[in-house]
């Protein structure tokens, strides 16, 4: 508690100079720093490129939105977000009254009391699938390391309070399933049901371990985004040479995962006292926008703004040495690149996650989860 000692020393000096103002100095210089941390609800973010706000920008080798045209709408430069602007955790942090979270690898990260973003592009739950990315398991390891640093920053008691009030937000497993198609599409093989079920079982068992790890470290409030409608991704349609709106096989896999995941969370709720959660039905929300784009104000909801090939589904956006096209008004588009929504679309998802009704986010929306004790 180095800071409070310094503050006290400062007060002592000032007291000698102006004894009558002691009360005011105490009020001004001592209480704000303490009550600040006390009234904060940090946000810790885990997952893949839909949530990455710079991890791979600072630490990625073969992944990361490093180049034009990423970031142009909002930041006017590429800042590591796979979007023309902000990603969902940016909007959620804003709604929660927090600044944009720092990615764990950011050189600016000194204060852990707002929370931290660990999400990294390309990340999978199953560590062996994409070894060059930061798997969920590694993100959890970084989180454990961060807990120690938070304790150094504010002391053990205060850190424990912050950890139990915090919201832990996840978008995971999409890449684990996409990977199944990548491997097999190239060989033009169908994927057996037993293989799909085995993959799902391993993902869910690993997620159980990670959720329990955070719970043991004090976490109580969890927010999950369901796996999206994978078959509607321009990248998947390109990969499978699919010509319709959404390819059925990836859709079914995402649906199978999502219902098993909800069942898992119900089970965890009965096992872990005080465990609270929000589940946002991102699958349905994104699916509806693909199907009825104009209802949501999108002129184009199937072809990506940036990329090449059918639906701009060939993931060439930002890649040096490839020719790709970029639309002139990303706000008209649902998809910025072949797998990631635009800033405008992310704003819509975030509004639903934050304050949507029980048909979209259940049993609580994030706003209610945030306010919960
Ligand atoms: C987690 O996934 C790995 C593969 O990455 C698997 O070998 C392991 O059995 C899974 N862990 C659990 C607890 O199921
Ligand atoms: C994949 O297999 C299907 C039939 O099983 C065939 O019609 C199609 O041409 C094959 N595609 C490639 C790229 O080999």
> pLDDT tens across 291-328, in order?
999 999 999 999 999 999 999 999 999 999 999 999 99
Residue 83, token pair as written in the block? 């979007």
In a domain, 314, yes or no: yes
Q: Which ligand is nearest to the Cα of residue 239, counting in written order?
A: 2
Asked if residue 101 lies in contact with residue 53, where contact means CB atoms within 8 angstroms, the answer is yes
From the CA of 242, how far away is ligand 2's center (Å)?
A: 12
State the Cα torsion 134-286-244-333 to the nearest 10°. -90
Give the per-residue pLDDT at 272.
98
Q: What is the C-alpha to C-alpha distance for residues 148 and 187, in angstroms, rounded to an integer?
A: 46
State the Cα torsion 318-350-103-4 to the nearest 10°. 160
The residue nearest atom 9 of ligand 1, judged by CA position, is 202
Asked if residue 289 lies in contact with residue 302, where contact means CB atoms within 8 angstroms, the answer is no
In a domain, 304, yes or no: yes
In a domain, 215, yes or no: no
> Is 205 a pocket residue for ligand 1 (Cβ < 6 Å)?
yes
In a domain, 335, yes or no: yes
Give the per-residue pLDDT at 12.
39
Q: Which residue has the tokens 């929370």?
A: 115
Query: How large is the C-alpha radius of gyration of the chain?
Result: 22
Pick from 325, 296, 218, 92: which is nearest to 101 by CA? 92
The residue nearest atom 7 of ligand 1, judged by CA position, is 202
In a domain, 362, yes or no: no
> Is 209 a pocket residue for ligand 1 (Cβ < 6 Å)?
yes
> Is 145 a pocket residue for ligand 1 (Cβ < 6 Å)?
no
Ligand 1 atom with the smallest distance to the CA of 128 is 5
Number of domains in the chain: 1
Asked if residue 29 lies in contact with residue 7, where contact means CB atoms within 8 angstroms, the answer is yes
Give the per-residue pLDDT at 38.
65
Give the per-residue pLDDT at 190.
85
Asked if residue 328 lies in contact with residue 73, where contact means CB atoms within 8 angstroms, the answer is no
Which strands, in side-by-side order, build the sheet including 221-225?
115-117, 43-47, 167-171, 221-225, 276-280, 361-363
DSSP label at 233?
-
Residue 280, token pair as written in the block? 């946002």
Q: Which ligand is nearest to the Cα of residue 203, counting in written order?
A: 1
Q: What is the C-alpha to C-alpha distance for residues 343 and 91, in angstroms, rounded to an integer?
A: 10
Could you list the residue range(s) of the whole structural domain that residue 305 is in? 292-343
Q: What is the C-alpha to C-alpha distance for residues 139 and 167, in angstroms, rounded to an integer?
A: 16
Asked if residue 168 lies in contact with residue 46, where contact means CB atoms within 8 angstroms, the answer is yes
Give the per-residue pLDDT at 14.
38
The residue nearest atom 5 of ligand 1, judged by CA position, is 126
Question: What stretches in the chain show pLDDT beneath 70?
Answer: 1-38, 60-62
Q: Which pairing describes strands 115-117 and 43-47: parallel, antiparallel, or unpaired?
A: parallel
In a domain, 322, yes or no: yes
In a domain, 129, yes or no: no
- Positive/negative CA dihedral, 352, 358, 363, 368: positive
> Is 198 a pocket residue for ligand 1 (Cβ < 6 Å)?
no
Integer CA distances (angstroms), 158 to 47, 207, 334, in order: 26, 28, 42
**Residues tagged active-site:** 49, 337, 340
Asked if residue 170 lies in contact with residue 225, where contact means CB atoms within 8 angstroms, the answer is yes
Q: What is the C-alpha to C-alpha distance for residues 162 and 164, in angstroms, rounded to an integer?
A: 6
In a domain, 6, yes or no: no
Q: What is the C-alpha to C-alpha distance for residues 312 and 316, in angstroms, rounded to an integer?
A: 9
């Amino acid at each position: 508690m180095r800071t409070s000692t310094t503050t006290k020393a400062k007060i002592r000096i000032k007291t000698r100079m102006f004894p009558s103002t002691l009360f005011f100095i105490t009020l001004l210089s001592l209480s704000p720093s303490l009550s600040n941390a006390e009234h904060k609800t940090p946000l810790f973010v885990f997952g893949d490129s839909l949530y990455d706000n710079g991890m791979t920008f600072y630490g990625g080798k073969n992944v990361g939105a490093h180049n034009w045209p990423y970031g142009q709408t909002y930041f006017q430069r590429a800042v590591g977000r796979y979007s023309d602007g902000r990603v969902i955790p940016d909007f959620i942090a804003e709604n929660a009254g927090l600044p944009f979270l720092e990615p764990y690898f950011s050189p600016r990260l000194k204060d852990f009391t707002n929370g931290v973003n660990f999400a990294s592009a390309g990340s999978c739950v199953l560590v062996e699938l994409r070894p060059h990315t930061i798997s969920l398991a590694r993100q959890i390891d970084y989180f454990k390391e961060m807990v120690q640093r938070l304790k150094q920053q504010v002391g053990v008691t205060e850190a424990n309070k912050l950890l139990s009030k915090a919201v832990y937000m996840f978008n995971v497993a999409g890449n684990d399933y996409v990977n199944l198609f990548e491997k097999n599409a190239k060989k033009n093989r169908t994927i057996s049901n037993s293989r799909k079920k085995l993959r799902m079982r391993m993902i869910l068992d690993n997620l159980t371990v990670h959720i329990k790890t955070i719970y043991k470290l004090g976490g109580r409030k969890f927010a999950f985004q369901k796996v999206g409608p994978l078959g509607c991704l321009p990248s998947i349609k390109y990969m499978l040479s699919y010509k319709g709106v959404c390819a059925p096989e990836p859709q079914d896999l995402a649906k199978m995962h999502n219902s098993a995941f909800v069942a898992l969370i119900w089970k965890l709720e009965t096992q872990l006292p005080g465990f609270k959660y929000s589940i946002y039905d991102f699958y349905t929300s994104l699916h509806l926008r693909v199907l009825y784009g104009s209802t949501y104000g999108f002129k184009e909801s199937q072809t990506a703004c940036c990329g090449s090939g059918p639906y701009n589904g060939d993931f060439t956006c930002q890649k040096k040495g490839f020719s790709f096209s970029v639309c002139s008004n990303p706000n008209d588009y649902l998809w910025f690149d072949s797998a990631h929504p635009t800033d405008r679309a992310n704003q819509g998802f975030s509004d639903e996650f934050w304050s949507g009704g029980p048909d979209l986010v259940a049993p609580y929306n994030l706003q209610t989860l945030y306010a919960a004790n």
